[in-house]
Amino acid sequence: MDAKNLTCRKCGAVYPLDNRYSCEACGGILEVTYDYEKAFSRNPVGNPDNSIEGMWKFRGLLPMEDKKNIVTLGEGDTPLLEAGRLARLWGCDLEMMVKAEMLSPTGSFKDRPTSVGVSVAKEKGFEKIVVASSGNASAAASAYAARAGMDCVVFVPDTTDPNKVIQAQSYGARVICVRGNYSRSFDMAKLCAERYGWANVTSTFINPYTVEGDKTPAYELYHQLGGRVPDYIFIPIGSGPLLVGILKGYEELKEMGLVHRLPSMVGVQVTACEPITQAFACGTDRVTGWDKQIKTMAGGISDPLIGYEGDGELTLAAVKRTGGRMVSLEEEEVWEASEAIETKLGLYCEPTGAVSAGAVKKLWNQGLLKKGALTVSLTTGHGFKYSGRQPKKPPIIDSADQLDQLVR
């Protein structure tokens, strides 16, 4: 394994690859760092380990010692689909593409970070994991715990979509609802890890290993685009580990000489909960926790960041470093994007996952995207996860005559 240390993103303090959730010296966010010279010399992205399917083929840049401890459901290798019909519908002179993360084993991109988090926990001898989630990560943690033969406790806000609760329970997790917003569930998982010694695989930034899984879409895009770098990558974000992870992936690709520039990263929130967009709009580096009432169909990105505002600041800095931007959608724009993805691309997407496509339209209309640019939008969650739709009542017939009437 070429992973070497946990390094504090703030003060640079270095720790061994053990189980810890923040920097002892300054409380900063930790990240996995590698013996890059050794890792890069093997070119693990250009020459992946094809004996494993999915994202673990890039295990040369993932933090696992022993291949036999990898807990996998085949996550990764999601399709990159051209989305010209969306561009035409919206009048965007862009080369639009969608990376369909909803086609992951449990129906969301959270399988990537969770697979790494649970694998590392297993390798370190943990038998029980805990996770805080707005829903998708709870389903993922529960599934990977089942796969690994581990116990799983899940904390979700009491407003979590019942479909996501059912999914987590189906895999055998103990689901506990916490009254209030996501930040309160986050605190509860953190407390469990401290008090009972369970491995916290919450896939924000608290577990430094999980973010490594979030790098892997970058490696896949490198292959899927034949080395071309997207001009913009659009990502739905709560605290933003997927955005930070993909950027880290591209930075590694650049270090290895496989690409020569970085994509501009665009983080997408909803106006109902937009702490990072607000900081971006104000031109500040400081993110303020969102203490207002939240009502949105995009529950997967409703993270108020209260008590861990630094997570949002890390994401904001990543966005700025790439010349990218933050943008938020109104509720009707979220719905419009969902419908467009379904009817024009044939992909069933939860509203949260659709914002990354809707934001392309919004920024294009504001004149903020280069003509002809290549955009990649990550559609992060499956439509099956969202129970807020009402079916249009279909007609019921019992004879061919009635069919004639309908068809006419």
Binding site for Zn ion (CB under 5 A): 8, 10-11, 13, 23, 25-26, 28
Minimal distance, residue 275 CB to Zn ion, in Å: 23
Give 24 or 93: the residue with its C-beta nearer to Zn ion: 24
Of 10 and 254, CB closest to Zn ion: 10
Residue 163 and residue 147: Cα distance in Å, rounded? 21
Q: How far is the CB of 261 from Zn ion (least distance, A)?
A: 30
Nearest approach in angstroms of CB 29 to Zn ion is: 8
Least distance in Å: CB of 16 to Zn ion?
15
End-to-end CA distance of the chain: 67
| In the complex, minimum distance from the CB of residue 23 to Zn ion, in angstroms, rounded to a whole number | 3
Q: How far apart are CA 333 and CA 139, in angstroms?
A: 27
CA-angle at 404, arms to 401 and 407, nearest 5°: 150
- State the residue for tokens 């965007």: 92
Residue 130 CB, shortest distance to Zn ion, in Å, is 24
* DSSP H/E element including 151: strand 151-157
Instruction: CB nearer to Zn ion: give 28 or 135.
Output: 28
Residue closer to Zn ion, measured from CB, 23 or 266: 23
Q: Which of 167, 187, 166 is nearest to 178 (CA)?
A: 187
Within 13 Å, how many C-alpha atoms sit on residue 108's CB side? 31
For residues 293-325, one letter each, b for 16 or more C-beta atoms within 10 angstroms of the residue's C-beta and e for the rest, the string is: ebebbbbbbbbbbbebbbbbbbbbebbeebebb
Least Å from the CB of residue 7 to Zn ion = 9
Choice between 9 and 385, CB closer to Zn ion: 9
CA 83, 58, 145, 191 torsion: positive or negative? negative
Classify residue 280 as exposed, middle or buried by CB count within 10 Å of its CB (0-12, 13-18, 19+): buried
Looking at beta carbons only, is 5 or 159 nearer to Zn ion?
A: 5
Cα–Cα distance between 338 and 352 in angstroms, integer?
A: 9
What is the distance between the alpha carbons of residues 365 and 369, in angstroms, rounded to a whole number? Answer: 9
Closer residue to Zn ion (CB): 31 or 303 = 31
